Structure 1
Amino acid sequence: MNPSVLYALAAAALFGASTPLAKLLGVGVPPMLLAGVLYLGSGLGLAIVRFARDRGWRRSGLTVREWPWLMGAIFFGGVLAPVALMFGLTRTAGATASLMLNLESVLTAVLAWVVFRENADRRIVIGMLAIVLGGVVLSWPQQHAATDGWLGPLAVAFACLCWAIDNNLTRKVSASDALFIAGSKGVVAGVVNSSLALLIGAQLPAVATLGPILLVGFLGYGVSLVLFVLALRGLGSARTGAYFSTAPFLGAALSILILGESVSLWFMVAAALMAIGVWIHLLEHHAHEHQHEPLTHSHRHRHDEHHQHQHDFEWDGTEPHSHPHEHAPIRHSHAHFPDVHHRHRH
């Protein structure tokens, strides 16, 4: 199995687990403040991990051309989306909001295929539809729930669009340091949401509550996002988004184990649909002759067929390693995903 698939599923598992845990720990905490604290746990935790890993502060490694992509991803995913979602949740029935959140993976795939020209064959489309349908079944309201009009659902849909844009923009910088990318998003989203919550009168919870919420944010938002970026690096936006759509199912499964919620028929149907979708994706085999254009970037790599280059520094032979390197033009054929080295037209 491609390691990037495991990254995507692990990211979904951590994020899915964060929902019931945050619900359990955040009783009485306003939704916007809860989101802010979770994001802060993500950003601050990843900053500490990165500082320890590098034994001090190290530059991001992003090129001048990559910074606009990251800033755009942070703006859409870390600022606009959380605020729009919190606004929408105050004016939308919970079941309706849960159902609409499935739009994120659909919009991510549509943008990837239509705007960013990412490859998608019939198998990938069918698999994604099965996974998304499983999410729809899982979150379908058991009884009709009225809303306060169209403004709330529209805000939730806008949040999904912002996260879809975020996912595709993050794909453009996914070859760079995943800890820096995820940590930057966490800090910005945490500061924005927490500040807005405090400005409208929210109060910080007690330390005994704050600490566990920060830890859940670090794992469910921070580590999850690092794994999501690594999956984007190897799978592209649409496939990563499809695998990540299993998060509601994994969160629901944990709710059954931790919160003692009952297992319903709808849960079993959703599980079957998502399993079918993942299985279809795992059977994908995409191979054809393709052209690699000249490319310069930096990421962890081994000296495989795509990384045949000389070093302008003394190298001890350790692999994988990371440094800026150039890719010479090459034309060949082999099985591949739309990863950082295979973003070509068909």
Structure 2
Amino acid sequence: MAPESRSAVALAILSAVLFGASTPFAKLLVGDGLDPWLLAGLLYLGSGLGLSVIQGLRRLRGRASEAPLRRADLPWLALVAFAGGAIGPALLMIGLATTPASTAALLLNVEGLATLLIAWIVFHESVDRRLLIGAGAILAGAVLLSYQGGPGGIGVGALAIFGACLAWGIDNNLTRKISAADPVAIALVKGLVAGAVNLTLALLSGAHLPPAGTIAFAGIVGFLGYGVSLVLFVLALRGLGAARTGAYFATAPFLGAVLAVVMFHEPVTATLVAAGLLMALGLYLHLSEDHAHDHVHAPMEHEHRHVHDAHHQHAHGPDDPAGEPHVHAHRHARLAHRHAHYPDLHHRHDHEA
């Protein structure tokens, strides 16, 4: 695996750690009687406000370190904020209200599966048999966790979490379309818009703001588990594509489940262990993938943070920034070669059946 790919994998896993840890803490807040929709708003507002501080500190440095969001990015960003910032968290909080935290944490593996399938079917990312078998193992674990037996079948809380995962799968693939832009700006806008919308709707429906200490705690959980996590996720998308970033992100529920067992003294049942083993198998199959073949880079022009590696052998104009890494619009000439790669910003080519 190339160094840049290893770096992207590390970013995806760190993003998963932060998000996975946020689930049992969100369950703690829901258990205290906080309205689920209101909590979703507080989590995202914490994300947006925290990242606003980070963005302000970055601007004090003066020099742009990432490509800015452009007008063409705004429709994609609006859809990201709606699917992943409004629908997803509201459904998750509803699911957490009636689902054990450890079970809910493992059910979030479905997000990686939804991301992979949408990337494969809709956006035509390359997905081989190994990834599909891994996805099947993850799905089997999720079904095992959610099935309650008897006439109740699949629980309503589990269905709500499945819906949240689908919304985030759509969100992840749409975010891929704008992942060349500043990840802090993407996460900041999503946090502020989604937080404001969720909070307003919750208050209009009769919810009441909790004490200041609870608001601050929710804000910190949101900043780390939704804001910083999303920034790292966008950076990983650049290097891995949506399907594989979603697969690596599937490590999040395992941490969340372990924390839930510790925090809430939930029993370690045979079902929980069996589902965890199935999901671990699926994750292993995803992590151990090796993808290399002859491929052709079509000519393209875009703007993103980069260094002059094998894919960036372009000339600089007098107004382009010096030093590396740097940001400017640049053009790629046609290039044909072979090496191990993922569907990153420069490898979104078609594959033969």
Aligned to 2:125: 118
Q: Secondary structure at the match of 2:348?
A: coil
Cα distance in 2 for residues equivalent to 1:199 and 1:252: 33
Aligned to 2:8: 4
Provide, for residues 110-162 of structure 1, a one-character-per-residue CA deviation record: whole Å limited to 9, x for no partner.
2211111100111121223233434444x335555848998x88766554433
Determine if contact 2:69/2:185 at 8 Å carries over to the other structure. no
1:105 is matched with which residue: 93, 100, 112? 112
Counterparts of 1:259-274 in structure 2, within 5 Å, are: 259-274=264-279
Structure 1 range deviating more: 313-322 or 242-251: 313-322
Determine if contact 2:306/2:327 at 8 Å carries over to the other structure. yes
- 1:140 partner amino acid: S
Shift of 1:278: 2.8
Counterparts of 1:222-241 in structure 2, within 5 Å, are: 222-241=227-246
Gaps of 5+ in 1: none
Aligned to 2:223: 218
Aligned to 2:146: 140
Give yes or no for the alignment of 1:334 onto 2:339: yes
Give yes or no for the alignment of 1:20 onto 2:11: no
Counterparts of 1:177-196 in structure 2, within 5 Å, are: 177-196=182-201
Cα distance in 1 for residues equivalent to 2:322 and 2:52: 29
Gaps of 5+ in 2: none
- 1:14 partner amino acid: L
Query: RMSD in angstroms over aligned alpha carbons?
Result: 3.1
Provide, for residues 16-44 of structure 1, a one-character-per-residue CA deviation record: whole Å limited to 9, x for no partner.
11111122245121111111101111111
Cα distance in 2 for residues equivalent to 1:165 and 1:236: 14
1:311 is matched with which residue: 311, 316, 336? 316
Determine if contact 1:135/1:248 at 8 Å carries over to the other structure. no
Determine if contact 2:87/2:167 at 8 Å carries over to the other structure. yes
Length-normalised TM-score, structure 1: 0.87
- 2:132 partner amino acid: V
Percent identity of the aligned residues? 52
Give yes or no for the alignment of 1:65 onto 2:69: no
Number of corresponding residues: 342
Structure 1 range deviating more: 251-260 or 100-109: 100-109
Check 1:195–1:168 CA distance in 2 against 1; reply closer, same or farther (3 A cut).
same
Q: Secondary structure at the match of 2:75?
A: helix
- 2:266 partner amino acid: E
Structure 1 range deviating more: 75-84 or 311-320: 311-320
Check 1:10–1:129 CA distance in 2 against 1; reply closer, same or farther (3 A cut).
farther
Q: Secondary structure at the match of 1:184?
A: helix
